Every structure is written in C-alpha cells, then in structure tokens.
Amino acid sequence: MAGILNLVLKRILLGAITLIGLTVITFILSHAGGPTFAVSTYINPRSPIPTYEQIKILEKRFHLNEPLYIQYFYYVQGLLTGQWGYTNTPVFNGPVTTAISYFLPNTIELSVLAIAIIIIAGIKLGVFSASRQDGVADNAIRVLSFMGIALPAFWLGLLLQETFASGTVSPSLNLLPLDGNVSHTLVTNLSWYREGISYPTHFLFIDALIHGDFAVAASNFLHLILPALTIALASLAIIIRMTRSSTIDSLHQDYIKTVRMKGIPERKVIRYHARRNAMIPTATVLGILFANLLAGVVLVEYVFDYPGIGQWIVQAFLADNIAGIMGANLMFGIILITSNLVVDIIYLFIDPRIKY
Amino acid sequence: MATATVKRLRSSARLRSSRLTLVLLLKKPTGAAGLFIMLAYLFIALLLQFAPWVIGISQPGVMITNFSNPYPSPPSSAHLLGTTYPGIDVLTAIIKAIRVDVFSSLLVVGAGASIGSLLGIYAGFRGKFIDQIVMRVTDIFFSLPFLVLAMAIGFTLGRAFGDVLLALIVIWWPIYARLARSQTLAIKNELYVKFSLVSGNGSVKTIFKHILPNTLTPVLIQMSVDLANVVLLIAGLYFIGFAAETPYLPELGSLISYGFPFSLTAPWTIIYPGLALMIFALGMNMLGDGLRDALNPRYRI
C-alpha cells in the first residue's frame, strides 16, 4: 500500500510540474509581443484610442514595465486570484473566468453525452467485433473505425446538419434542430434565463429541471444530439480498436480456455470473463479520449453555433483576444492534466497485476 | 576486395529488406490502398508543382474568384463539381489545394519527426537530467489539445501561411521525441551499442550508425498516420478562419469554410472538398496500419 501511495504522490508531483510548465508557456506566448501588446488585452476595443500616457499608466498598473521573471510571478499571482484578463468577443464581454463559468457548463453537457455514446457504443462494438474476429461484421466495423479516424469532425458535423436538420436530403429526415442549444421561442420570457445564460447553475438542462420546465430540458437534449454524435464518431474508433484488440488478447488466455472447457456458453464467456479483463487496457486510452474530445469540441461547437467553450475560443481567436485564448489554453490544460492524473491513479488500483 | 564484397552483400540485403516490406505492404488490401492513395495525391501535387499547364491550370498558388457571378452554382458541364462562393470552381480549387495540403503536411511531419527523433534519441542516450527536462517538456505539450495550442502559438507568431506551418512544427516534435526515446532506452544497453562505444566510435557516430536506424520503424509508422493528422489540423485551423492574411490560398479547410454559409442549400460546396480531405486521411491511416504489419519483425521470418 505504501508503494501505491508513493506512486500516487509521484504522479501528483509530475502533474503539478506540468501545470507550472503550462503557465510558463502561456506567459511567454502572451508576453512575447512586448508590453504594449500585453496591455492591449486590458483595453476595451470600443473605447477611444488611449494616449501614450494612458498606456504607460496601464503598463505600470499591470507590472508590464518590470523584468520578465518578475512579471511571471505577478502573472501567476493573477491566475491564482482569479484575474485571468478580459475577453472581448461577439459571444461574451467580460472577465475570462466569468466566460468560463458561463460556457464550460454547456460544453460539459455536450461532452457527457458524447462520452456516454463513445463508451457504450465503443465497448459494445469492440467486444462484438472481437467475438467475430475476421468475420464480415468484424471487417465492416474495422473499416468504419478507420473512416471515423479519418473524418474531419467539422465536415462530419456539416453533413449531419445537412441530413438530419435541413430537409435538403429528405424532408422526412428533418428531425433535429440545426444549431444552438435550445429553441429561442421557449426561453424568451423566462425569469431564470438571460442572454443565453441560465441560472443558477448555468447547466441549462439541470436548471430547466430545477425550475420544472420539461419543455426546455427536452429541447436542450434534442439540440445536443447532433453535436454529441459528431464528437463521438471521431473518437469512437479509438475505443473500438482498443477494446477489440484487448478482448482478442484476453480470449486467448488460459483461463478462458478453462472456462470454455467447463462448458459455459460463449456469450457468457465473453460477458463475464473476457470483457472484464479487456477493460483494463481500454482504461489507459481514456486520457487520449479526453484530449480528442476537447479538440473536437472546438470545431464542432463552431459548426453547430453551440454556446460552449469551443465557440468562445474560436470567437476570441477571430477577435484577436489573447486573454481569451490563453485562458482557454490554461483551462483545457488543467482539465486534461487532472483527468490524466485521475485515470493514472484509477489504473493503479484496478489492475491487480501491478504489485509493489 | 573483402570490403567490396561486404558492401555488396549489405546493399543487396537492404534491397531485399525494402522489397520484402513492399511485398508485405501490398499483400494487405488496406496497405495497398493506402500506398495507392498516397502515390495518387503525391502525383497530383508534383504535377501541379512542376507542370500545371498539362491539366490546364494556371496560378496553382491561388484560387481564382469570379465576383460577377459569386453565388454557388450546381455541378454542370462547365464546372464539373460546381462552384463555391465567390465564384470559385470547386474541382480546380480542390486540385490546387491538394498540392498545398500535401506539401505542407510533408514539411510539418518531416521537420517534426527529424527534430523530435534526434532530441528523443539524445535524451534517451544521455539519460539523467537532460532526459528529465525533455520528457517534462513533452508532458506540457501533451497536456493540451493540439488544435488549441496551435491557435495560441499561431496567434503569437502571426497569421501568414508560413507562421501556421511553424506553429505546427513547434507542437509536432514531442510525440517523436517520446517514441525515439523509448526505442533508444530499449537498445541502449545492447552489446552492439556498447561495442561501438568501446571500439572508439564517438557517441555521435554510434547514435547515427546504430541507434537511429533502430528507431526508424515506429517513427515511420507514426509519420504516416501524422500526415493525416496534420492535414486535418491545418484544414480545421483554416476552416475557422486562421488565414486572414492569405484569403484565397487554396486549402481544403478554407475551401469548406467558403461553402459553410451555403452548406444547406449548396451541399456540393462542402461535400467534395471534404471527400478529398477524408480520402487522404483515410489513405494515410491505412498506409500506417499496413506499414505496422509489414515492418513487424514477427511477420518477416
């Protein structure tokens, strides 16, 4: 047990070092253009052009006239006290931390649905594929998973929109909403919904349930289906491949032969004996899965005009808003580092073969 | 005399080995298809680079617009795949874009793989402090989605096409550094490496003669898959409007972004460029899969 504790502490330390490295990178990138460039992130573009004196005052106020290594400590102090700069984009005007608290819940809703699709469908298809190794179904699934990796996510999103939301392919397929996260007619006069943000949790689905507004919750869910499917299809292939190969590996183990010789039906062999051990290697790719998911979110939210983090990043990028981009980078970094840490630690505990 | 024989034997063994790889690659349908797609795209790119007039294309570096008739028109005999906004012929734009995409992904992957492999081998070979530093830096790069990191770096560097490629090279070496390092660690203590060092070869010569050739297999497979990943990433960046400074640069992602506002009424503006993108990515993934089997020593006995 002490061995496990040591490893856990080591992983946490490595995560912390990575996080510090990340802040160094965002610091360098956001201060690479010199003090005047960095000041520009604190100025509202709609205000009158500042004078030279005003810029100097701002530089002083944000410690941009100090040496870089001292600026770094002010930068970290700002990050720790919640001052991540201001973001000026068509979708949001205000502090970066507020933007994150508004948009992240929407992205989490989307990601949860996508992850559910990926894990349920991925494991089912992977095990199915493995149980019919080299058969027709297996080959078909493998070809489809190849295509899943090769599909550009934004293009897939456009195709799905075309097929299921526009009626151009067939009017009878026009089943789902085109974009956004809720029908605007439903939320125009709600007391708990203002300017695209729901209160109090900012999770539209949860807020709708809290206020007992099931029509809004249903509309929100319908709006989630197409983007979640798009994100999921891009990452599904990874889980299918991993599950398939690890299930095939475990089907060749001695204990499976023993179980088969005992006369247990093949269906139960796979379900209760092979699949459980095959899940352990699959857990290792969850980290890659999260990274893929977050990258997919950016483009897919842009295509579906979904009010989440990805849409905000793209708008910040197009509006030359450096605080927004760096803030989003930091946030993604923190999410990924923590999720990798959790996956690593869980992995230490679920694999009985790791001994100390 | 003796050295000449050794040299001849060596080169014939190498030839046999590469021919064996080719045979094994072509034996699998996916590997053969991947190789074919790769060669076809490379052929189009080279043709457009050196003799665009053969297929009647002028100005391969820019998409020709037609503002007198800017709105998308469906496929017809004049425009086989239709036109996209603003009056761009989709077929010629795709062909032009293939050149830009293939060459830029080759450049990014080539540069990333060379820098990353050398750094990884050096880190693995030296071990200790240098190894720790390099690995911690790769950790940072892996803690971010490449798309978002590319946006941040590209933002600081600038929006010209060269800046995009530079930003991608900056983020594309860590994976090769890890691959080459783990491969180096695996063979560092083999007798032939130790013998080379003991017999007076410097570490540089040992690295290039014994360690580098042994790290090539996984790097080659990764490069093949990464050609697809880089093209998809470039297309994604251009789709969201990264290239503000080079508006009519033929690139598949930016071609799709021109059709984006019309995608529901004029599906041809996005379907065909996306297909060109997907076939390339599919081909590179299949080639990587084929190479993984063909270069696997288990199948070569």
Q: Do residues A249 and A111 both lie within one domain?
A: yes
Q: Do residues A127 and A263 both lie within one domain?
A: yes
Please tell me if residue B281 touches chain A, with a CB cutoff of 8 Å: yes
Chain B residue nearest residue A338, CA to CA = B143
All residues of chain B having their beta carbon less than 8 Å from the beta carbon of residue A314 are: 240
- Residue A36 pLDDT: 67
Asked if residue A176 belongs to a domain, the reply is yes
Contact B240 A336 (CB under 8 A): no
ipTM of the complex: 0.84
Asked if the peptide bond before residue B75 counts as cis, ω within 30 degrees of 0, the response is no
CA distances from residue B108 to A206, A210, B71, B167, B301 in whole angstroms, order as listed: 44, 50, 35, 9, 35
**What is the mean pLDDT of the segment spanning B54-62?**
76
Q: What is the pLDDT of residues A51-106, one digit of tens each?
A: 788 888 878 877 777 888 888 888 888 888 888 878 888 888 888 888 898 899 98
Q: Do residues A202 and A128 both lie within one domain?
A: yes
Return the SS3 of A319.
coil
Chain B residue nearest residue A143, CA to CA = B30
Rounded CA-CA distance A63/B10 in Å is 64
Q: Do residues A229 and A341 both lie within one domain?
A: yes
Which pair of structure tokens corresponds to residue A212? 């007992």
Whether B108 shows a pLDDT value over 90: the answer reads yes
Asked if residue A1 belongs to a domain, the reply is no
Q: Do residues A111 and A194 both lie within one domain?
A: yes
CA distances from residue A231 to A116, B52, B281 in whole angstroms, order as listed: 11, 38, 17
Provide the pLDDT confidence category of residue B266 given band limits of 50, 70 and 90.
confident
Q: Do residues A16 and A109 both lie within one domain?
A: no
- Residue B102 pLDDT: 92
pTM of the shown model: 0.86
Q: Do residues A124 and A265 both lie within one domain?
A: yes
Please tell me if residue A155 touches chain B, with a CB cutoff of 8 Å: yes
Contact A147 B256 (CB under 8 A): no
Rounded CA-CA distance B83/B69 in Å is 10
- Residue B222 is part of a domain; what is its CATH number? 1.10.3720.10
Asked if residue B259 belongs to a domain, the reply is yes
All residues of chain B having their beta carbon less than 8 Å from the beta carbon of residue A152 are: 232, 235-236, 253, 274, 277-278, 281
- Residue A2 pLDDT: 66
How distant is the Cα of A121 from the closest Cα of chain B, in angstroms? 22
Asked if residue B4 belongs to a domain, the reply is no
Q: What is the pLDDT of residues A98-115, one digit of tens each?
A: 889 889 998 988 988 998
Q: Do residues A58 and A172 both lie within one domain?
A: no
All residues of chain B having their beta carbon less than 8 Å from the beta carbon of residue A294 are: 145, 148
Spatial contact of B44 and B98, defined as CB atoms under 8 Å apart = yes
CA distances from residue B26 to B32, B289, B294 in whole angstroms, order as listed: 4, 12, 9
Whether A228 shows a pLDDT value over 70: the answer reads yes
Asked if residue A3 belongs to a domain, the reply is no
Q: Do residues A121 and A52 both lie within one domain?
A: no
Asked if the peptide bond before residue B86 counts as cis, ω within 30 degrees of 0, the response is yes
Asked if residue A216 belongs to a domain, the reply is yes
Q: Please state which of the ranges A20-34, A168-182, A243-257 shows the lowest mean pLDDT.
A: A168-182
How many domains does chain B divide into?
A: 1
Whether B227 shows a pLDDT value over 60: the answer reads yes
Whether B43 shows a pLDDT value over 50: the answer reads yes
Positive or negative CA dihedral for A175, A179, A181, A187?
negative
Whether A227 shows a pLDDT value over 70: the answer reads yes
- Residue A245 pLDDT: 82
CB nearest to B146's CB, from A14, A166, A295: A295
Contact A151 B241 (CB under 8 A): no
- Residue A248 is part of a domain; what is its CATH number? 1.10.3720.10
Provide the pLDDT confidence category of residue B12 given band limits of 50, 70 and 90.
low
All residues of chain B having their beta carbon less than 8 Å from the beta carbon of residue A326 are: 152
Asked if residue B14 belongs to a domain, the reply is no
Please tell me if residue B151 touches chain A, with a CB cutoff of 8 Å: yes
Asked if residue B72 belongs to a domain, the reply is yes
Asked if residue B9 belongs to a domain, the reply is no
Whether B111 shows a pLDDT value over 90: the answer reads yes
How distant is the Cα of A306 from the closest Cα of chain B, in angstroms? 14
Q: Do residues A65 and A114 both lie within one domain?
A: no
Instruction: Examine the fold and report which residue of A93, A124, A152 is the final residue of a domain before the chain moves on.
Output: A93
Give residue A49's domain range: 12-93
Report which of B162, B159, B52, B160 is spatially closest to residue B96, judged by C-alpha positions.
B52
Q: A131: exposed, middle or buried (C-beta count within 10 Å: 0-12, 13-18, 19+)? A: buried
How many domains does chain A divide into?
A: 2
Mean of the per-residue pLDDT values of chain A: 82
Mean of the per-residue pLDDT values of chain B: 83
Which residues are paired to A94 by β-bridges? A87
**A39-63: burial string, b at 16+ Cβ within 10 Å, e else:** bbbeeeeeeeeeeeeebbebbeebb
- Residue A356 pLDDT: 47
Please tell me if residue B158 touches chain A, with a CB cutoff of 8 Å: no
Whether B300 shows a pLDDT value over 60: the answer reads no
Q: What is the pLDDT of residues B241-255, one digit of tens each?
A: 887 677 788 888 888
Asked if residue A355 belongs to a domain, the reply is no
- Residue B14 pLDDT: 62
Spatial contact of B108 and B232, defined as CB atoms under 8 Å apart = no
Return the SS3 of A197.
strand
Q: Please state which of the ranges A41-55, A116-130, B79-93, B160-174 shows the lowest mean pLDDT.
A: A41-55
Which pair of structure tokens corresponds to residue A5? 């504790």
Whether A296 shows a pLDDT value over 50: the answer reads yes
Q: Do residues A172 and A202 both lie within one domain?
A: yes
* Cα pseudo-dihedral B119, B124, B130, B132, rounded to 10: 110
Q: Do residues A118 and A80 both lie within one domain?
A: no
Which residues are paired to A193 by β-bridges? A198
Spatial contact of A230 and A153, defined as CB atoms under 8 Å apart = yes
Instruction: Examine the fold and report which residue of A93, A111, A139 is the final residue of a domain before the chain moves on.
Output: A93
